[in-house]
Every structure is written in C-alpha cells, then in structure tokens.
Amino acid sequence: MSFHTTLRAALFGISALALGVTAASADQLADVKAAGKLELATDMHYAPFDMLNNGTYEGVTKDLFDEVAKDLGVTPNYMDVPWTAELPGLEAGKFDMVIAPVTITPERLQRYTFTLPIADATVGLVKAASNDAIQKPEDLAGKNVGVQQGTAQEKQLQAYGDKIGGIEIKGYGTADEAYADLAAGRLDAVAGSSPNLAYLVKNRGDVFAPVQPAFGAPTYFAWVLRKDDASKSLADAVNQSILKMHEDGRLKAIQEKWFGAATDLPTEVPQN
C-alpha cells in the first residue's frame, strides 16, 4: 500500500469518526436517555409556577415536568437560574431546556423551539386591595406600575402605556420584588400573567386585588429548547407527554391544584 493510499485511508477514517460523533450528538433525546437525566433551568421565584418553600422546590412547573420526566424515563435536575440568564444559558448549552414559563411570541418563535402550551399567559394587573382609585386598567395612565424585567409582560405593558397616554414603568428582577413594593405603597399596580396574579390574590386577598379586565392579548406559556435539528427529538417527546396529560387528566388536575380551575389550552404551538 502506497503512502498516499495510507494517508487517504487515515483521513477517511478520521472523517467517518467525525461524522459518527456528529450523528451521535444530533439526537438530544438519545443523549438525554443515555445520560439518564435532563438539565433544566427555571427561576424559582415565580409563584405559583416556581417556588422555594423552606428550601424545597415546588409549583406548577415542577408538578408538570415531574410527569414528563416519568414519561421519558429520566431524572430531572432542576436548576434555579435568574430569568435574564436562562435563554442565553440555553443557547450556550448550559442546560437542555428552559422550563420557566416562557411566553410564546412571534420573535421568540424565530429563535427557539417551543413546546406545547402549559398555561395561559394573558397579561393583567393587580393593585393594593385598599386602592379604590383604580377600577380598570385605563385608570393607570400616569401611574407607577411594576413588572419583571426582560419579559413579554414588560413589552405588553409598555405598549399598553403608550396606548393610554403613558405609564411610569419600574422593572424588577423578580415578580416577588414588585409585589413587595406594591404592598409597601411604592407602586400603584403590578403587571403580570393572569395565573400568577390570580394565585397572588387567592393567597393574599387582604393585601392585593385584581384590576379587571386583563389588558393583554390572549397568550400562552410554554417551555423552550434550542432551535436546531438535534433538539427536535426531545421537543417531540416532551410534546407527546403533554398531549398524554391532556388526555388522561393529569394536566387538568395540576391546573386545578394550583389555580383552582382548569383552562383549555391549544394542542398545537401557536404561531402568533
């Protein structure tokens, strides 16, 4: 065998090995099953979806994804990550999925793979229970309203403020911080997704009251994966699990446990 033939064979072997590695890493579901676990990022300060109760993680997200993990046959590793670091961390490959409830938007659909919706995300407002001056969303023109920074809710609040003549918006790292300032009288209202606000009022109705009706357009929460070929297998498997939970009642039971009622959700990913 000549030197050139040997060299070509060696190069072919290296190329085949590289292709084999690429093929093996192009199926995220297979990788996850091989590892036996899923690395999952969420912000554990977003009740009732994600909460720390005496150091123990609980909430809607955990109940739902515990069921998904059972269906997939893997162990979920839940990581507490600030919201502003979650999507950049996903893109950097620091975890497999973001399971903090992420609002589906056209812009995000271009950049990420979304699962089927796991909850309603329509944006509303909450005020201090003692504040009789605010009866409807339009009454917040010129008022101070808090919202979690970097969220779709913040963008909708900005657009609504422009529509009614201006709102003084104050951004917070977590919704809990905004609620604390509202309770202390430093804000006139807080904007957030309807399920979060309903849970807040349900548990602290002596302090907070809803501002009716919700001002946002109907939107939904879902979970997020990277937008690449490798992620499709895992996204498909998660969606199959969510569909099973629709059919067997697990999704409804978890909604009723945390929200007090169940909401019909799309069984396809909304594209607008």
Per-residue pLDDT of the chain (272 residues; tens, 9 = 90+): 443 444 344 434 434 433 333 334 589 999 999 999 999 999 999 999 999 999 999 999 999 999 999 999 999 999 999 999 999 999 999 999 999 999 999 999 999 999 999 999 999 999 999 999 999 999 999 999 999 999 999 999 999 999 999 999 999 999 999 999 999 999 999 999 989 999 999 899 999 999 999 998 889 999 999 999 999 999 999 999 999 999 999 999 999 999 888 889 999 999 87
**pLDDT recorded at residue 3:** 38
Cα–Cα distance list, 207 to 185, 189, 192 (Å): 11, 12, 16
**pLDDT recorded at residue 13:** 43
Omega before 218 within 30 of 0, i.e. cis: no
**pLDDT recorded at residue 25:** 52
List the chain domain ranges: 30-120+219-259, 123-211
Which structure tokens are listed for 166?
Answer: 């201006």
**pLDDT recorded at residue 7:** 38
**pLDDT recorded at residue 217:** 87
- 30-120+219-259 and 123-211: same fold? yes
Which structure tokens are listed for 263?
Answer: 């909401």
Region label for 51, one of left (φ > 0), alpha (ψ between -120 and 50) or beta (otherwise): beta
Q: Which tens digit of pLDDT belongs to each residue from 82-102?
A: 999 999 999 999 999 999 999
CATH 3.50.30.30 at 123-211, yes or no: no
Give the CA count within 13 Å in the CB-facing half-sphere of 5.
2
- pTM for this entry: 0.80
Containing H/E element for 75? strand 75-80
CATH architecture assigned to 30-120+219-259 = 3-Layer(aba) Sandwich (3.40)
